Structure formats: C-alpha cells, structure tokens
Amino acid sequence: MRTPPGLAPESFATALREFEGVVGKDWVFTSDDDLHLYQDAYSPFWGEPDERKASAAVAPHSTEEVQAIMRIANAHKIPIYPISTGRNLGYGGAAPVYSGSVVLDLKRMNRILEVNERNATCLVEPGVSYFDLYRHIRANKLKLWIDCPDPGWGSLIGNALERGNGYTLAPYRDHWGAHAGMEVVLPDGDLVRTGMGAMPGAKTWQQFKYGYGPHLDGLFSQSNFGVVTKMGFWMMPEPEAFRSGTVMVYRYDDLFKLVDILAYLENLKVMSATTRVESPLLFGAFKAPPPSPELAALRARNPGREEYEAFAANNNVPYWSVILRFYGSPKLTAAHWEYAQEKFGTIAGAKFKDGDFYEFPLSDAAVNRIMDKAPLGIPSLEAFSMGGRTPTNPTPSNGHMWFSPIIPMSGEAVQECERVFREAFAQWGVNPLGLPLPQLYHERTFFQIYGFPISHDAETNRKNRETFKRMIALAAEHGWGEYRTAPAFMDACADTYSFNNHALRRLQEKLKDAVDPNGILSAGRYGIWPEHLRKTRS
Amino acid sequence: MSKVGYCSAALLLGVALGMPVRALAADAASVQKGKQVFQIWCEACHGSGADRPGTLGLEVKYSGKIPARLEDRKDLTPDFIKLYVRNGFAMMAPFRKTEISDAELGALTAYLTRTQK
C-alpha cells in the first residue's frame, strides 16, 4: 500500500476504510494497477523519481459524498487532489501536483442537471464532458451550441476552472467567463453556492453571475480553495448560418494593419470566432499540405524580406493570412464578410477567398463530414492528430505540453515575440514544436503557442523542461506571462507574477491558510502551497 | 447488417446449433453494450472520418494490410484490447475505471471480437 508523505500507514488504512464506508469498496482504488491509471499520461517526468503519483483514488457519486470525504481527509490530514474528467492532458492529466495525494475522481458525478433552451444556460456536474452535453443536445434536438476546447472529452467544469478556451463567439469561448454560478465543497466539508445560488430558491442562479457582495468565484479557478461540484454556463443559441472567408496579404509590413483591423472587427463583434494569424509563406498554414519544392528551398535558404516578398507576389503565396468566421443568418454573415473585405481591402494587394458556408441544423451525416468542427460547437478529438501518427509524422510522440505566453494584440508585439524566441532557440540550440504565430482566444490579446513533445527518454524530457523554464523566464523579462501551465512549471510561472515582493502570492497564502488550515486540498496547484509545505516549493 | 439484424441472426444460428438461448442472449446484450461503450469512448478517435486520429494513424501504420477501423478488425483479442485501454499507447492516454469499468471493458471486447465467434 502506498502512503501519503508523512502519514502513518495505520492512519491511512483507517481513512481508506472510512472512504469505503462513504463510496463503497468498488470506488476506492489502491492497487498499483489501478493507480497507474492516475499518472499523467503526458508527464514530462515519465519514469523519473519526480513523477507525480497518487497514493489512492476515491470516486464519489454525489456532493454529499464529497463533503463526507473532505471531513475524513481533514480528520486524518490526508492530501486530496480533485480531478473532473481527468483528461487535462498536457496540463497534468489525472495526476496530483503533490505526489502522494489521494485523487478525488469526480468522473462519476456526470449528471446534466438542467439545460434551459429559452435562456441558453445549463447546470452540470464535474464529470460531464463536452461530448456528454453535445449528445444530450442532439438527442433532445435543442437549439443550443456548446463551445468546445480541442479535446471533446474534457469536463466543462474542469476546463473552465483551468481557464481554457474554445472556438466560437467571444462570450462563450472564454470558458471561465461563460460560467454563471458555482457550488463548492470547502476543505472542511462545508458547502457554498456563489452568485445568486447563495439565495435559497433563487430563480436566476445560471442567469445573473454576480449575486450580491464580493464576487468570490475566481478564488476557485486555477487554485486549491474548494472542490467545485456544480457549475452553470451560458450557452450559445444555434445560429441560422455560419460562413468563413480568408484574408491574404503579401508584404511583411502588412502584418501591422492586418492585426489592427482584426482587432477592430473582433471588438465590434463583426468577426467573433477564434482565429490565428498564419504565414503560408514562412511556416505554412495550419494543416497545410507540404510546400512546393521552390518554397521549401526558399525557406531553407531563409533570405531577406525583399526576396520573400518577391516570391509571395510572383507565386501568390501570402506572407500573412487570417481565416474569419461569422455567425448569424445567411444575409447577416454575407454582410459581415463583405464589410470585413471592405476594411481589409484598405491593405494594398489584399486578396480574399470564400470559405465554408453551413445552415443549421445539420444532419448527423453532415456533421461527420466536417473537418473543422470546433467553430461549429461540435466536440471532437481531431487535435490529437497533432503529434499522432500521420503521413508526415510516421513516428507518433507520447503526448505534448504547451507554452503559451499572452502578448499584446498588435503586429509589433507579434514581431517582437517571434524574434525574441527565434533568436533564443538559435542560441540554446533547440527547436520546439508548434506554429510561432499568434492565436486569438481572448479579445484583446494573442496567445503565442509553442509545443514540446513528451518522450519516454528521460534526457530528452529533462532538456525540454529546462527549455520550458528558460522560456518562462525570458517571456517574463519582456512582460509576457503564461496563462496556464502543467504541474511541472506551476511554481516557475507563479514566480513571474512577483509585483511588490510577491504580494499576490502572499495574499493567496493568507487565504489558503484561512480556508484550508490543515493544507489538505491540492497542495501546490498553481504555485499555492499550504504552510507546512511551503519550503518544498520548487 | 443492422444491430438488431445481427442479434436476431445470431440467436437463430445458436438455436439451430443447439446452443443455450440464454447464453446467446447474454452475448448479444454484451455486444450491444460494448457497441455503446465504443461509441462513447472510442469512436471519436477510431471511427470513420478524416478527423479521427486513431484511424488515421492506423492507416499510416498498416498501409491497408490490416483495416484501420477497429470495428473492421478480425485479429483483435480481449487481452490485446484490455492492454491498450488500460495502458494507452503514444498519444492515446489510458482509461480509468471510472470512465470504462471492468464490466464495460468486457463488453467492449465482446463487441470488437464479435465476428470471431
């Protein structure tokens, strides 16, 4: 039997028996085979001593069972680590941040408690995945969309608490921002509802986000102050139509005006879906076929800007491109696309290409034929082809991890960030995965995304971890902060948010000590450690 | 053949061979349950369609010598299926028992080996 650090085996055995009394023997896992399933499948510590491992896992079926487990854990001072669907791959998966914790597996709490079609809201438990809610919508022919992240098996609650992102309209694709109301079990087992849910019998828990008094919801995201057992979300009404189009420009300096117009249209809500700035010339568009031999030779030679621009003009290969997506009616989406072309048409030489057009609802057969499902609110696992075995990648990796600093939404910032990291990679002798071009998730910033494959070779992983940490520090030097990260880097990222001698972390620690005096819940998550473990911070 | 058609034909064949009807019905129920498990947990990667990374990967791996869709395979064994579900492979993460229970995994193996009986 594994035992949490510092805990006597007899105490742990007693606690496990008490957990079994709450959830039943079938839902307390202690064997090595079962606990192997609670390791991070995409761990950058694969096979190393620092690999995060659970000492046990317990899987409740109700809020009341979660409360009972937290009371037992408090009595025995057992470290607890909640997971929702456990599919936060690339950001820790089902493994605890503090090795030796008991994983509180909430997957069995998978009830869709309410979907309000007229008001476009829902209330769900942590085990509900995007696939689950999508199937519910299709089965009941509801005129609602969900906003999905890349992996459809993720939890609505888990992804929102991680502050994950999706692909439709701005109010919905910020998954944390789209939530309305929470139910939370505190470390001592007490039960809290936030927003209007604090009023017994409230009629607007999922409609009005703020309730009355301080808005405490943020305490429970990227943190360790409570176990979220219910959460409401705003959903998107099914539009009549969807339309996309591509903007292509051909000179390097067009980047600046391109981004300014993109920001203008985004903030006017003319163009409102997630997109990214791509460079078919320099890097190839996302999922693009291999370049022509001439373009491949040009990239290999990497000449000056003038020669690239000449190639772009002579071969109709854009220096920069952006796919725009529109929701509404056929007429409205056509008008928005026409207006966007008018605005981008002020860039000399800009060209435009019509993209997809769909009217809703779609049949199951039509859904199956669509490759780019996420902007249509349809969950899939298509993103796992990135790193998986494909014609151009015959040897699949063992997972991935992402470094995604937030940069300003301007051409100048894109240019600077691309240059800073390109020069650093050359100096360090590394070559991370990913497209070194910005992704638009939130409305006034870009995410600059770099990826690292996970290896089963410890030395390769060690080098990638080292590069990752150097990138965190280099980004911070330039004022770019990471928005979310894997357990291996939570302390390093938290260290960069250091204004006034880490005043924010000191406040978080005061709150942690008050809300969780025994320090049992998710120690170390997002760099917040309980008092008795603060010296172990990496 | 449709799901119902498959079950009916299996039952008729079993009766003709003198097999216990109750055992065949249990098998059919297990296959049916296994199909549901496949649709919930496996189809998004291993179903039909160009956006299914599992099917795409197996197309590249086997170059058509073995079917890329798991539902078309005739060489899978229960132990092989359980090994992959509980251990994962490359980008495929393993599945916990709160996701696919041992009973559901048994049904899944019944479904994916149904044509071998």
DSSP assignment of A500-532 equals HHHHHHHHHHHHHHHH-TT--BSTTGGG---GG
Residue type at position B95: F
DSSP assignment of A281-348 equals TTT--TTPPPPPHHHHHHHHH---HHHHHHHHHHHT--SEEEEEEEEE-HHHHHHHHHHHHHHHTTST
Across the strands, what pairs with A232?
A123
From first to last of the 538 residues of chain A, give the pLDDT tens digit: 899 999 999 999 999 999 999 999 999 999 999 999 999 999 999 999 999 999 999 999 999 999 999 999 999 999 999 999 999 999 999 999 999 999 999 999 999 999 999 999 999 999 999 999 999 999 999 999 999 998 999 999 999 999 999 999 988 999 999 999 999 999 999 999 999 999 999 999 999 999 999 999 999 999 999 999 999 999 999 999 999 999 999 999 999 999 999 999 999 999 889 999 999 998 876 667 789 999 999 998 888 899 999 999 999 999 999 999 999 999 999 999 999 999 999 999 999 999 999 999 999 999 989 989 999 999 999 988 888 888 878 888 899 999 999 999 999 999 999 899 989 999 999 988 766 679 899 999 999 989 899 999 999 999 999 999 999 999 999 999 999 999 999 999 999 999 999 999 999 999 999 999 999 999 999 999 999 999 877 6
The 3 state secondary structure assigned to A217-268 is HHHHCCCCCCEEEEEEEECEECCCEEEEEEEEECCCCHHHHHHHHHHHHHHC
**Of the options 2.60.40.10, 3.40.50.300, 3.30.43.10, 1.10.10.10, the CATH number for the domain spanning A9-105:** 3.30.43.10
Q: Which residue of A has its CA nearest to B56?
A: A390
> Using one digit for the tens of pLDDT, what is the confidence trace for B87-102?
999 999 999 999 999 9
Q: What's the CATH code of the domain at B96?
A: 1.10.760.10
Number of Cβ within a 10 Å radius of residue A299: 16
Q: Which residue has the tokens 């995007």?
A: A130
Q: Is A74 in contact with A25 (CB distance < 8 Å)?
A: no
DSSP assignment of B28-89 equals HHHHHHHHHHIIIIIHHHHSSSTT-HHHHHHHHHHTTSS-SSGGG-SS--HHHHHHHHHH-B
Q: Is A266 in contact with A171 (CB distance < 8 Å)?
A: no
CB contact under 8 A, B86 and A387: no
Nearest to A380 among B44, B57, B87 (CB): B44
Residue A74 to residue A68: CA distance in whole angstroms: 10
Q: Which residues of A touch B86 (CB under 8 A)?
A: 33, 36-37
Phi-psi map region of A166: left, alpha, beta (phi>0 left; psi -120 to 50 alpha): beta
Q: Which residues of B touch A373 (CB under 8 A)?
A: 51
pLDDT on residue B4: 36
Q: How many CB pairs under 8 A join A and B?
A: 90
**Of the options 3.40.50.920, 1.10.45.10, 3.40.50.1260, 3.10.20.600, the CATH number for the domain spanning A495-536:** 1.10.45.10
The answer to the question of residue B15 being in a domain is: no
Is A241-360 CATH 3.40.462.10? Answer: yes
Residue type at position B40: I
The answer to the question of residue B2 being in a domain is: no
The answer to the question of residue B41 being in a domain is: yes
Number of Cβ within a 10 Å radius of residue A479: 12
Is A112-237 CATH 3.30.465.10? Answer: yes
Give Dmax (Cα) for chain A. 76
CB contact under 8 A, B57 and A396: yes
Nearest to A397 among B53, B54, B90 (CB): B90
For residue B78, what pLDDT band results from cuts at 50, 70 and 90? very high
Chosen from B51, B60, B84 to mutate, greatest number of chain A CBs within 10 A: B51
Residue A44 to residue A453: CA distance in whole angstroms: 9
pLDDT on residue A436: 66
Q: Which residues of A touch B (CB under 8 A)?
A: 27, 29, 33-34, 36-38, 41-42, 57, 59, 85-87, 89, 93-94, 105, 107-108, 127, 131, 152-153, 368-371, 373, 379-382, 384-385, 387-391, 394, 396-399
The answer to the question of residue B105 being in a domain is: yes
Domain hosting B78: range is 35-116
Q: Is A3 in contact with A73 (CB distance < 8 Å)?
A: no
Upstream peptide bond of A60 is cis (omega within 30 degrees of 0): no
pLDDT on residue B115: 86
Q: Which residues of B touch A368 (CB under 8 A)?
A: 48-49
CB contact under 8 A, B51 and A371: yes
What are A252's two structure tokens?
């390097």
Of A114, A166, A159, A160, nearest to A140 by C-alpha is: A114
Domain with CATH 1.10.45.10 in chain A: 495-536
- ipTM for the predicted complex comes to 0.94
Number of structural domains, chain B?
1
Q: Is the dihedral of CA A88, B41, A36, B58 positive or negative?
A: negative
What are A196's two structure tokens?
């209007």
What are B94's two structure tokens?
């393993």
pLDDT on residue B50: 79
Q: Which residues of A touch B52 (CB under 8 A)?
A: 381-382
Number of Cβ within a 10 Å radius of residue A73: 26
What are A450's two structure tokens?
């770099």
For residue B24, what pLDDT band results from cuts at 50, 70 and 90? low
Q: If 0-12 CB within 10 Å is exposed, 13-18 middle and 19+ buried, where does residue B21 land?
A: exposed
